[in-house]
Amino acid sequence: MHELHSDRMSGAETRAASGLALVFAFRMLGMFMVLPVLATYGMDLAGATPALIGLAIGAYGLTQAVLQIPFGVISDRIGRRPVIYVGLLIFAAGAVLAAQADSIWGVIAGRVLQGAGAISAAVMALLSDLTREQHRTKAMAMIGMSIGVSFAVAMVVGPLLTRAFGLHGLFWATAGMALLGLLVVAAFVPRAASHLQHRESGVARQALLPTLRHPDLLRLDLGIFVLHAILMASFVALPLSLVQEAGLPKEQHWWVYLTALLVGFFGMVPFIIYGEKKRQMKRVLLGAVSVLLLCELFFWRFGNSLDALVIGTVVFFTAFNLLEASLPSLISKVSPAGGKGTAMGVYSTSQFLGAALGGILGGWLMQHGGLDSVFLGCAALCALWLVFAVTMREPPYVTSLRLPLPPAAAQDGGLAGRISQLPGVTDAMVVAEEAALYIKVDSEQLDRTSIEREINAAPAC
C-alpha cells in the first residue's frame, strides 16, 4: 500500500533542504542588499542619473526573467548541479564586475550579469530529486522562509556594509556569498540518485498554454508583477526621501528598515491566519493592495518628515510582506492538478519582469518629475492591480499533492476520474510517464484511506 502519511525527514533530506535554502538565502542577500543603498551611494558613480540608478536597481530582473525557465529545462537534460554551479559563478562574476566599476554603466552591466545566473528552477528541481513526496512541501517552505529572512537581513545589512566598506565592498561581499553558496552545494548538499520529472516543481510544456489562458492565474501574475515593480520603484524614492525630506544621513537608514521589517513581519501574521482559517483570502488580498495604494498616496502627501516616512514605511512593509507570503499560496490553490510548477514558473517570470520595469520606471519618473511622481506612479500601479483583483473569484481552499503510483494504477485510464469523485478531491490527473497522481484536495474533507483504496484497486495490466 502506498503510504500517504508523513514521518520525520531523513538526515539527507534535512541536509538537502537546509543547504539549498542557504544557497537561496546567499543569492537573495546579494541581490537585495543594494536596494536600500544604490539610490544614495550610487549617485557618486561617474555618469549616474536617477534614471540610470533605477535601471541598475531593476536590471537583474530582465536577464533573470528571460533565463529562469530555460535554465530549468537545461537542468533536466545535463543535470541540476552543473547548472547551479555555472549560475552561481555567473552571479559571482556579475558582482565582481560591479565591484570594480567606477561608473553607473559598469554597475548596470554587473547587475545584468548577476541576473543571468538564474538558478531558481534548477535548485527547486534538485530539491525535488532529494526529498520524498511527504516532505517536499516542508522542504519548499524552508526555502520560502529563507528568501523572506534574507530579504529582511539584506535591508539592514546592506546599509551597514556599505557604510563600512562602500558600494565596492558591498559587491565584493555579494561575490563571496555566491562562492560560499557554491561550496555549500558541492560539500554539504547530498547527491541525487536520479532526476525526478515533477510537475509541481518544474515547467511542463503541455501545461504552459492553459496556464497563460487561466484568468485567475493571470490576475495573480499581474499582482506579483505590480508588487515588485512598486518595491523597486519605491527604493528609488524612499532612500532619497529619508535624506532630502527628513534629513536622515544615509548611514543611519538601516534602523528604519529594521523597524519596518520587524513590525511588518509580525503585523502580517494575524491577517494570514484570518485569511486561511476563515477562508477569506480574497478579502485579505484586496485589503493589502488597498493599504499599499494608501501608503504611496501618504508618501506623496505627507512624506516630508522623518516620523511620517517611518510610519509609512512600517505600514508599507506590513502590506508588502502579507502579499509576498499570500500570492504563492494563492497560485498553489488556483492552479489545476499537475500545473503548479508551470504556474509558479510563469509567476516567477512575472515577478522578475516587474522588478525590472519598476526600477526603470521609478528612475525615469524620479529624473523627470521628482519624488512625488514616483509615489504617484506607484499609486497608479496599485489602482490598476486593485481593478483586476476585485474581479478574482474566491480561491478554492485546497492543497496540491503528488502521489507515486504502482505500475498497474499508472496505466489505469479511469483512475483520475474515480479519484476526482471522492469527497474532498477537487481535481485529479494521472501522468503515466511519471507514474504519479496529481490531486487537489480540501484537507478538511479528505478521506485519505479512500484514495489509497482506489489506487490499490487498479486492475493489473
232 domain residue, yes or no: no
Give the model's pLDDT for residue 44. Answer: 92
| Residue 3 domain flag | no
- Residue 419 is predicted with a pLDDT of 87
* pLDDT of 198: 67
In this structure, the answer to whether residues 157 and 59 fall within a common structural domain is yes
Confidence at residue 255, expressed as pLDDT on a 0 to 100 scale? 93
Give which of 137, 291, 155 is closest to 201, Cα–Cα: 137
Residue 339 domain-assigned?
A: yes
Q: What angle do CA 230, 352, 53 make, to 5 degrees?
A: 60
Whether residues 85 and 182 fall in one domain: yes
Query: Rounded to the nearest 10 degrees, what angle do helices 306-334 and 133-187 cross at?
Result: 120
- Asked if 309 and 418 sit in the same domain, the reply is no
How many residues does this entry show for the chain? 461
pLDDT at residue number 249: 93
Together in a domain, 143 and 51: yes
389/298 Cα distance (integer angstroms): 22
Based on the domain organization, do 387 and 408 belong to the same domain?
no
HSE, CB side, 13 Å, CA atoms: give it for residue 312: 25
Q: What is the DSSP code string of 4-37?
A: -S--PPPHHHHHHHHHHHHHHHHHHHHHHTTHHH
Helix (H, G, I), strand (E, B) or coil at 416: helix
Q: What's the DSSP call for residue 45?
A: S
Give pLDDT tens digits along the chain (461 positions). Answer: 344 444 688 888 899 999 999 999 999 898 899 999 999 999 999 999 999 999 999 999 999 999 988 888 888 888 889 999 999 999 999 999 999 999 999 999 999 999 999 898 888 888 888 887 777 778 877 888 888 888 889 999 999 999 999 999 999 999 999 999 999 999 999 987 766 666 666 777 777 888 889 999 999 999 999 999 999 999 999 999 999 999 999 989 999 999 998 898 888 889 989 988 888 999 999 999 999 999 999 999 998 999 999 999 999 999 999 999 889 889 988 888 888 888 888 999 999 999 999 999 999 999 999 999 999 999 999 999 999 999 999 888 888 888 888 887 878 778 888 888 888 888 888 888 788 888 888 877 777 788 888 787 766 55
CATH number of residue 409's parent domain: 3.30.70.100
Domain annotation covers residue 199: no
Q: Is residue 231 part of a domain?
A: no
Give helix then strand counts, H and E, for the chain.
Answer: 16, 3
- Cell for 165? 566598506
Q: Are residues 217 and 186 in the same domain?
A: no
Question: Based on the domain organization, do 110 and 259 belong to the same domain?
Answer: no
In the block, residue with C-alpha cell 538526515 = 11
Quote the pLDDT of residue 461. Answer: 52
Instruction: Return the sign of the alpha-carbon dihedral for residues 77, 83, 85, 86.
Output: positive
DSSP E strand stretches across 193-248: none
Both 288 and 404 in a single domain? no
Same domain, 155 and 219: no
For residues 135 and 265, membership in a common domain is answered with no
Q: Give the three-state DSSP class for 286.
A: helix
Give 217-285 as a DSSP string: HHHHHHHHHHHHHHHHHHHHHHHHHHHHTT---GGGHHHHHHHHHHHHHHHHHHHHHHHHHTT-HHHHH
- Residue (of 263, 197, 231) closest to 402 by Cα position: 197
Query: Please, what's the b/e burial string for 368-402 (b: 16 or more CB within 10 A of its CB; e: otherwise)?
Result: eeebebbbbbbbebbeebbebbeebeebeebebbb
pLDDT at 2: 40
Residue carrying C-alpha cell 536577464: 63
Residue 234 lies in a domain: no
pTM of the full structure = 0.90
Collapse the DSSP code of 439 into the 3-class scheme (helix H, G, I; strand E, B; otherwise coil) and give the result: strand
Q: How many domains does the chain have?
A: 3
Q: Determine the distance from the C-alpha atom of residue 201 to the mean position of all C-alpha atoms in its chain, rounded to a whole number.
A: 13
What is the strand order of the sheet 399-404 is part of?
399-404, 436-441, 425-431
Which three three-digit cell numbers place residue 408?
498497474
CB-CB contact of 24 with 143 (8 Å): yes
Of 327, 363, 349, 65, nearest in space to 234 by CA? 363
Give the domain range for residue 122. Answer: 11-191
Residues 385 and 442 both lie in one domain:
no
| CA-based nearest residue to 114, from 162, 61, 180 | 61
Q: H helices of 79-187, where?
A: 80-99, 104-116, 120-130, 133-187
First to last CA, the chain: 17
C-alpha span between 191 and 243 (Å, rounded): 49
Residues 427 and 393 in one domain: no
Question: 117 with 175: CB under 8 angstroms?
Answer: no
Q: Is residue 446 part of a domain?
A: yes
Helix, strand, or coil (residue 403): strand
Question: The domain that contains 122 carries what CATH number?
Answer: 1.20.1250.20
Q: Does the residue 236 lie in any domain?
A: no
